[in-house]
Structure 1
């Protein structure tokens, strides 16, 4: 009951790296558990700073049932200015609590956890919504850690890509991810300086940026049958959302904070444009077609962090990579 362990980012990444296909399945089961109502996923809480309007630290508390029986909270910061110093934008910690007693039993460096659950949900959505594991032309917008993780998960799930084009406002990062994709992942890849031309004709588009408001606004930006993974949530104009099939991870969570779906709701005053959740598509309760673009918009659920974090914790204990903290609790008896 009173054991407590710490799992660092290096260990977490090593565990994730050898278990990516299993993590995708963990995410799939978690979505279904959440859809079935066996979870508690409150709204995220945002800590903002008057003198740093683009920075924030977010608290994501959650409980996951369905045989997992774990509670916890992720505390994740997003400081975009970090990029100017050549360091990652996001950093995070995840605390896991025992459901029987409420006692915390582990803390994990969670930027790896967060990136993994985000990437796994993106790849799962691509498989479910496309019905396969092949895309002739792929465009990745944003060349940060999340984009790299998404491509790593695609590779781990044995996707076949004809070519990958990477666009980023900072060419050095776009070129770096393109080189990584070609050398480490084995797909033909190149940097694309202009976004609009490469969007046309792409089978699969992945948005993984830090954009705060839509910049993809041209009416013909997307084509019927094109699959768009709207991971960063704010790149796409609401008018484009309204002309597409829209699959979300959780409708209530997505309809806030001026995400593209939220802007579409504000524009129309309704949610009629929502096709359903990814779990509903998996269960056959929602269907997409090829007569319009298909956009997947995941707000990012705390229950996914719990599922992946619990998995990494178990693997770390089995492999000896968890660092046990003796006497973490100062009192273990009431009297």
Structure 2
């Protein structure tokens, strides 16, 4: 009951690296558990700073039932200026709490976990819309940590991708990710300096930028039948959202914080452009056609962090890769 373990980012990365396919299955199960109502996922709380308007630290508390029965909270910082220092934008920790007693039992470096659950969610959505697990050209816009993780998950799920295109405002990052894809991942890849041309060439588009407001606003930017994984959430203008099929991970959560769907709701005064959730699609309650673009916008639920975090914790504990903190709790009896 009073054991407390720390899982480092290096350990989490090792566990994730050998378990990506299983993590996609964990994320799928978590979405379905959440869909059944066996979870508590309050709104995220954003801590913002007057002199750093682009930076924030977000608290994501949650409870996940089902076979997990675990509570916890992710505390994740997003400081885009870190990129100029060649440091990852996001840093995070995750606390896991025992549901019976409320006592925390683990603290995990969670940037790896957050990236993994984000990537698993993206790949799960792609598989839901493309049972063949194939793409002629996959375009990534934003060549950072999240993009790298998403591509790693695609590869580990045995997707057949003829070519990966990479676009970034900074050509150096595009070149680095392209080299990683062609070298480490063993897939055909090239940089795509002309963003709009690359979008027109791709059948699957992954948005993984740090954009704070829409930069894809021209009507007709995406083609009918094109799948867009709107992972960074704020790249797409309201008009494009309104003219597409829109699948979200959780409707109420996603329609907050000026995400692209939220901007569309504010502009048009309704939610009629939303076609359902990913769980709806998995369960076959909803379907989309190919006469419009299909956009998946995941807000990123705290229950996903719990599921992936618990998976990493148990795997690390079994392999004796955790660090036990003796005497972490100062009092273990009332008297």
Normalised to the residue count of structure 2, the TM-score between the two structures is: 0.99
The yes-or-no answer on 1:217 pairing with 2:217 is yes
Q: Which residue is 1:129 aligned to?
A: 129
Report the alpha carbon displacement of residue 131 of structure 1 after superposing the two structures with TM: 2.3
Q: 2:333 matched to 1:321?
A: no
Give 2:290's aligned residue.
290
Aligned to 2:253: 253
Task: Name the counterpart of 2:191.
Answer: 191
Alignment of 1:1-335 (within 5 A): 1-335=1-335
8 Å contact from structure 1 (residues 70, 99) kept in 2 = yes
- Runs (4 or more) in structure 1 with deviation over 4 Å come to none
1:232-286 deviation line (CA, Å, top 9, x unaligned): 0000111111111100000000001111000111111111110100001000111
Q: Give structure 1 stretches of 5+ with no counterpart.
A: none
Query: What is the SS of the residue equivalent to 2:232?
Result: coil
The separation in 2 between residues aligned to 1:195 and 1:125, in whole angstroms, is 23
Give the Cα separation in 2 of the matches to 1:129 and 1:241: 18
Q: How far apart, CA to CA, are the structure 1 residues paired with 2:52 and 2:226?
A: 37
Q: Deviations over 1:17-63 (max 9, x none)?
A: 00000000000000000010000000000111111111100000000
Instruction: Give how far 1:175 is off.
Output: 0.5
Q: Deviations over 1:78-122 (max 9, x none)?
A: 000000011000000000000000000000000000000000000
Q: How many residues align?
A: 335
* Structure 2, unaligned runs of 5 or more: none
> Partner of 1:200: helix, strand, or coil?
helix
Partners of 1:130 and 1:227 within 8 A in 2: no
Partner Cα separation in structure 2 for residue 26 and residue 94 of structure 1 = 17
1:201 shift after superposition: 2.9
CA distance in 2, matches of 1:36, 1:131: 24
How far apart are the structure 2 equivalents of 1:203 and 1:322? 42
